[in-house]
Structure 1
Amino acid sequence: MTASALPAELPEPLAAPLAAFIRHLASETRHSPRTCDNYQRDLQRLAHWLVGRVNDWSAVDFHHIRHYVAQLSREGLGGQSIARHLSAIRRFYQYLLREGLARDNPALDVRAPKSGRRLPKVADVDQLQQLLDTPADDPLELRDLAMFELMYSSGLRLAELASLDMPALDFASGELRVQGKGSKERLLPVGGKATAALKRWLAVRPGYADEHEEAVFVSQRGTRLSRRSIQARLARWGVRAGADQRLHPHLLRHSFASHMLESSGDLRAVQELLGHADIATTQVYTHLDFQHLARVYDRSHPRARRRSGTIEKRKSQDYPKTKDPNGH
């Protein structure tokens, strides 16, 4: 059953435990609203698929979940997306078991199909220089430029940038304090270009925000700038600067990580700067770095890669054809 064919309402035996689980996530485990929404969306999709197959959650077994995974795959979901669905189902059944609403966890032994690891896209240094050297024409563009400089300077996530408050800035030490995933705080250096861009924005910020507003980046109305607005402004700035790819906040974060690793080779330091709990998450950038090195190698080493057309051309220039004694 596709999303467009979902029934309008779920039967109470499926709907009530699901609603209770989402309340549990929000109140007891203190998950963010966004995380709760993701769980609810994924589990509602499963619940709608189960309508007509089972009467309540306790009747779901391994075969149901395996068939559901196959359906998700047929609908075009990749391995990582399916793995996320399975993770939500397992977590939900842990809750149901605790509440006595299920006898086992039917998703424990179901695995998502494997998919190739997608490497994050990055912008090259010259493109980012062009982007960030584009002059601002008005106060709101000063704000935009300060945001983009800061994201690339310190590798901020979109949510970290949007939630940034004035007390987090320390110009004296050239540092920035951010709240990352799981409310983990980390201290980040801020580069000279980003510091200068921030000071230019803060000089005009009082014309938009009143003295009680703590958000560093505010809208024309004086309220905290939303994530969606930041995304839209960056995309607009990229078009204006003539970027050859669509610009988005994570592209700046990925580029920060890749360029830092390419220059320093210090994986642990990049992990700390990005706020990754697991170094395996950071290691994806070593693959990007290797791709860069491989391209340089292919371009530079005389025996790196056969270029048959070039080889044949050189042969014809260095060794012109001569007729054999028989005139052939």
Structure 2
Amino acid sequence: MPRNHETDEQYEEELRAFHIWMKQAGYTLTTQREYKREAHSYLQSLDGLSAQKAGKMDVIGYLVSKQDSTGDRTRNRTLSAIRSFYVALIDFEMATRNPAMEVKKSKTEKNKKPIYLEEEELVQSLAFVDGRYRDRNLAIFLLMSYCGLRVGEVHRLNLKDFKKAKGTIEVFGKGRKWNEIPVPEMLSSILDKVEQERISPYREKEEAFFVSQKGKRLSIRQIQKIAEQTFKAFKADKPGLTDMKLSCHKLRHTFATMLLRNGVDIRVVKELLGHSSIETTMIYTHVNDDQKKQAMSTINIPVLI
């Protein structure tokens, strides 16, 4: 839906409040842009109706209008944006109810099996991490695959967050929550090396742990490109994985799956991933074909012939 300046004017205060609220809540710049775009598009669909007076039917009507061009995952993200928009309005006392909370998310996404690499495949992929600053790129890849960090958490990581003496990193995650994560010894050594070789920042007071060749905090897009280039080279060597859609977040899926398969208590996995609800962690309790075969091999059918 094209940008409508009348919408900007009519809902100026609401959009401004949403922008301030997301910034204060610690949303990444990417999420802020996407959510503001969705909120603007939703408000435009109200055709002049006050956001405070809009109801469940208006939210569903907007979602239905996009139904033909989006899948369940996109629909749920759009719904999350509208829900957050109303949370912001309620927080600033510009609304008293959240009609988007009355709309259910699509169940299809909840039932979808996460995409992940087998542990052996993950180890093999590390050989394809490359680039001019290979140690930095390797550290980034390892933080996502062996510590479960989100791309935004890697982006926000500062020098002071790496506690070398304790062997931990402090991660600023979703919901403005801090989470202390123990770092494997090998990764701790690589982080220490990356810190020592860190490029002098463009700004004297730049605290970013990972900086670009221009001395600026490495952007989310740059981190994603490091992963994309690694996966591209890895897939070229592994034709069987060509159709697998790999990304930074798939490394997080791999980390969670690896822990649960190794018998780690799901409550511990929940804390390491920084989930607010154990139901979110439950999506990683899937089983693979080998586990099914192993389970069936325990059954003894008597010889009947």
Question: Does TM, scored on the shorter chain, surpass 0.5?
Answer: yes
Aligned amino acid, residue 131 of structure 1: S
Between the two proteins, the alignment pairs up a number of residues equal to 289
Q: Deviations over 1:114-161 (max 9, x none)?
A: 4352232111111111122447574x1121112112222211111111
How far residue 268 of structure 1 moved from its aligned partner, in angstroms, is 0.8
- Residue 154 (structure 1) aligned to one of 134, 143, 147: 147
Q: Would you identify which runs of 4 or more consecutive aligned residues in structure 1 move more than 3 Å?
A: 11-14, 29-39, 54-66, 88-96, 104-114, 133-138, 206-213, 299-304
How far residue 113 of structure 1 moved from its aligned partner, in angstroms, is 5.0
Paired with 1:219 and 1:258, the residues of 2 have a C-alpha distance of: 31
* Partner of residue 317, structure 1: none
1:252 equivalenced with 2:248 (yes/no): no
Identity of aligned residues (%): 25
Q: Deviations over 1:26-59 (max 9, x none)?
A: 58x64536454444222211222233xx454466
How far residue 181 of structure 1 moved from its aligned partner, in angstroms, is 1.7
Q: 1:269 to 1:106 in 2, by over 3 A?
A: closer
* Aligned 1:131-280 pairs, distance under 5 A: 131-134=125-128, 138=132, 140-206=133-199, 212-241=205-234, 242=237, 244=241, 245-280=244-279
Paired with 2:202 and 2:55, the residues of 1 have a C-alpha distance of: 55
Moved more, 146-155 or 205-214: 205-214
Q: What are the ranges of 5 or more consecutive residues in structure 1 without an aligned counterpart? A: 305-328
Aligned amino acid, residue 261 of structure 1: L
Paired with 1:32 and 1:76, the residues of 2 have a C-alpha distance of: 23
Aligned amino acid, residue 216 of structure 2: T
Ranked by relative contact order (alpha carbons within 8 Å, sequence separation 6 or more), the top structure is 2
Q: Deviations over 1:59-97 (max 9, x none)?
A: 64554444333223234342523532552465366469x
Q: What are the ranges of 5 or more consecutive residues in structure 2 without an aligned counterpart? A: 300-305
1:67 equivalenced with 2:33 (yes/no): no
- Assess if the C-alpha contact under 8 Å between 2:39 and 2:85 holds in 1: yes
Q: 1:216 to 1:66 in 2, by over 3 A?
A: closer
- Assess if the C-alpha contact under 8 Å between 1:168 and 1:176 holds in 2: yes
Q: Deviations over 1:219-276 (max 9, x none)?
A: 1112211110011011112223435345422111111111011102410111111111
1:120 equivalenced with 2:135 (yes/no): no
1:296 equivalenced with 2:291 (yes/no): yes
